[in-house]
Amino acid sequence: MLNRDFKGKYFAQAAILFPWAIPTVINARIWAWMFNGQYGVINDLLIRIGILQTPFPFLAKPDTALYSMLFITIWKTSSFMALILLAGLQSIPDHLYEAARMDGASRIRQFWDITLPLLKPTLLVALIFRTLPAFQAFGLPYGLTGGGPASATTTLVLFDHQLTFNRLSFGEGAATATIITLIAAGIAMLYVGTLYEPEVR
C-alpha cells in the first residue's frame, strides 16, 4: 500500500517508523504498563469488549509472557522491515509490470514471476537485519520481565548477562557469547547461500 501514490504518502511512510524509533527500554516499560494484570489498558480493553471476564496477568505466567514479548517485538520491528521492503519494491522497474499486464499475467503471477525474484536481495538484507538483532535481544526482555517468569523470556544474551554478572562466571559467559556469535554467523551464511543471486537483475 505504501508503494502506491496517494495523498499523504510520505507522511505515512514516516509515521510507520514510529514504533521502531522508540528506544527499546522505554518501549519495554510502556508495554509492561499496558500488559499489567491490575491496571493495564490491554486488560481493560479486553474486558470492555467481552473477551475477558477478569484481568489476566499476561506477563506473570510463563505460557503467555513469551508470546506477549514476541507480539511487542513484531510490533516494534515490522515497520523497519516494511521500510526495507518498500525500498526494494520501489527499485523494481514499472515497465516489467506493464509488459506482464499486456501479456495477460494476473497479479498473483506478477508477484511470483517479477516481484518476489527481484526482491530476493532485499529480503536477504531484511532477514540478516532481523536475525542478528534477535540474537542480541537484551533491552526488551530485561525491561519487560527481567527474563521471567521462570526464565520464560530469557533470551540468549540475557542468559549470558546473568551468567557473567550475576553468577560471576566470566569464563562461561565468554564461551556462551562466542557460541551465540557462531550460531548467528551460521544462520546469516545460510541466508546468503539461499537467497544471494548476483545476476538476479
Q: What is residue 201's predicted lDDT score, i.e. its pLDDT?
A: 46
pLDDT at residue 40 is higher than 60: yes
Q: Which of 69, 92, 53, 59 is nearest to 155 (CA)?
A: 69
pLDDT tens profile 106-126: 999 999 999 999 998 898 888
CA 49 to each of CA 33, 43, 52, 116, 135: distance values in angstroms, whole numbers, following the listed order = 20, 10, 8, 39, 37
Name every residue whose Cβ is closer than 8 Å to that of residue 20 and which is 6 or more positions away in sequence: 76, 77, 79, 80
Q: How confident is the model at residue 196 (pLDDT cuts 50, 70, 90)?
A: confident
pLDDT at residue 2 is higher than 90: no
With contact defined as beta carbons under 8 Å apart, do 72 and 65 qualify?
no
pLDDT tens profile 146-191: 888 988 999 999 999 999 998 889 999 999 999 999 998 898 888 8
Burial pattern 68-102, b for ≥16 Cβ within 10 A else e, equals: bbeebbeebbebbbbbbbbebeeebeeeeeeebee
pLDDT tens profile 50-107: 999 999 999 999 889 999 999 999 999 988 898 899 989 999 999 999 999 999 999 9
What residue ranges define each of the domains in the chain, with the CATH number in brackets? 10-195 (1.10.3720.10)
* 162: its cell numbers: 546473568
In the DSSP assignment, the letter for residue 150 is T
Q: How far is CA 35 from the centre of its chain?
A: 19
Q: What is residue 198's predicted lDDT score, i.e. its pLDDT?
A: 63
* 148: its cell numbers: 521471567
Mean per-residue pLDDT over the chain, rounded? 89
CA distance linking residue 201 with residue 198, whole number of Å? 8
pTM: 0.81
Q: What is residue 199's predicted lDDT score, i.e. its pLDDT?
A: 55
Q: What is residue 46's predicted lDDT score, i.e. its pLDDT?
A: 93
